[in-house]
Amino acid sequence: MDQANRPAGYFLGVDGGGTKTAFVLTDAAGRELARHEGGSSYHIQVGFEALHVLLHEGVHAVLDKAGAAPDEVLFAFFGLPAHGEDSQVQPFLDVIPKAVLGHRRYACGNDMICGWAGSLGGEDGINIVAGTGSIGYGERQGLTARGGGWGEIFSDEGSAYWIAVQGLNAFSRMADGRLPRGPLHDLLTRELELKDDLDVCAYVYARSAPQRDRIAGLSRLVARAAAQGDEVARRIFTEAGRELAAIVEAIRQRLRYPPGEPVNLSYSGGVFQGGELILQPFRQQLSLYSPDYRLVAPRFNPAIGAALYAARLSGRTPRPPDPVSAGGVSNRN
């Protein structure tokens, strides 16, 4: 980039996740200049050393694509999975970006903030994330609240991992005869190349690959089974939609929305790629809680959201970029 057209500083957004991490660099006006994608930034899974390597490589890769240097970053926001959920390890997470950037013009937070800032463009409202895990976050008139996101062992309801576990449970019941066999049984048998039903145990328990991502990936097979008419699989997605709505409702209550005040609500994460399979029960349950919800399609993707949030933390309010050029969804429901 020639010096005459060089931006007067950049904002860096990092949207971490259990499966992938997106790095986005924008100019001071909020226009996306470069993007890079890396692997998991879930420190519980990959460890601190691997997280440091991932962030270092990702940040420098996206800067190199734009011909930018770390000291030209006006501010950065690192949205990291599980951030804020262990007070003993949080100080270690918070110092990694300093080693990567070489300065302190950054902040770290939970990746739920990236989804909210992207989907709603930083405006008041609630965003629900349903990816590998699930979590919700909202802001209203200076109040903030989160819900869900307690981890896959006893929470993350409605997430890809949760859907996959329900699907595996249904498979075991079908194999036993406790449920009638439907398309879900045949799909898992074929796609996992099971010679015997019990071989699914080896797939789940005996493989060395990271369990969380691999198990969550099976949610796509549950969705395919639902599309093929498997009633058990459809019920799993119905329950997932209800669980996600319950997280949203808890956040609405904590943000003290009075009756009659519209609640802008959006969504992000791979589970919502299922379209009406997940959105229909989600909307239906929301309507039982309150008539005030206004479900809107995501305005920008979470990585752009991270960059917009970085600008906000720096005291600047850049004009949000065109949703189409930002890779977001421009229409609203």
CATH number of the domain residue 275 falls in? 3.30.420.40
Among 98, 91, 135, smallest CA distance to 248 is for: 135
- What contacts 276, CB < 8 A, 6 or more positions away? none
185 located within any domain: yes
What is the residue range of 246's domain? 125-297
pLDDT at residue number 206: 80
pLDDT at residue number 45: 86
pTM: 0.88
d(CA 46, CA 289): 39
Whether 188 and 203 share a structural domain: yes
pLDDT at residue number 213: 85
CB atoms within 10 A of CB 283: 16
Strand partners for 77: 13, 107
333 located within any domain: no
322 located within any domain: no
pLDDT along the chain (333 residues), means of 10: 67 92 94 96 92 98 97 97 92 96 97 95 95 94 96 95 98 98 98 97 80 92 98 98 98 98 95 96 98 95 95 82 42 32
Whether 222 and 164 share a structural domain: yes
Q: Which two tokens stand for residue 287?
A: 């309507």
Whether 84 and 147 share a structural domain: no
- Number of domains the chain is built from: 2
State the DSSP H helix or E strand holding residue 22, giving kind and residue range, or none if neither.
strand 21-27
